[in-house]
Amino acid sequence: MQNRGSASGFDTAVDQECENLICTHPGNNATCVSEGQAAATVVAQTANLTCEQCITKFLTPQHIQRLFGILDDFPHTLENLCPVLHGIATEQEFRQLLDDIGFSQPGLQDRLLSCLSKAGALFFEF
């Protein structure tokens, strides 16, 4: 590709080849796509999070402190919280606990419950 250009006080002329090219770099392999070609699909593999990671991903520090306040018979660490959550009997009881700490958005509750279930932190199936 050659770029040819000239500029003066009155006008500017540029003759340049122009094409669309998008490059991404997912890991060690680079994928470049030119205009009119289909992009390769990259599927990311995600590992299940631990119970503690689920809690900190979805709940704010304020939510976690409120949860510790409700479950005040237990030491206030995430490592000790997860076994307590595992002992909750029903999904309805867990959702009520989330409502009680101010985490009442149903969509986010669903995502938290799904995460905790995949982490093995809940008895009931979600």
DSSP 68-87: HHHTTTS-SSHHHHHHHHHT
The position carrying tokens 């119970």 is 51
Residues 34, 95: Cα–Cα separation, whole Å: 49
Residue 44 near residue 51, CB atoms below 8 Å: no
Residues 51, 33: Cα–Cα separation, whole Å: 40
Predicted pLDDT at 23:
54
Helices (H), 8-90: 51-58, 61-70, 78-86
Predicted pLDDT at 68:
87
pTM for this model (two decimals): 0.58
Q: What does each of the 126 residues of the chain score in pLDDT, given as a tens digit?
A: 555 555 555 555 555 444 555 555 555 555 555 555 555 544 444 578 999 999 999 999 999 999 888 877 776 788 888 887 777 778 888 899 899 999 998 899 999 999 988 888 877 665
Residue 122 near residue 86, CB atoms below 8 Å: yes
Predicted pLDDT at 42:
45
Strand bridging mode 31-34 / 12-16:
unpaired
Handedness of CA 57, 108, 123, 125 (dihedral sign): negative
Residues 2, 51: Cα–Cα separation, whole Å: 57
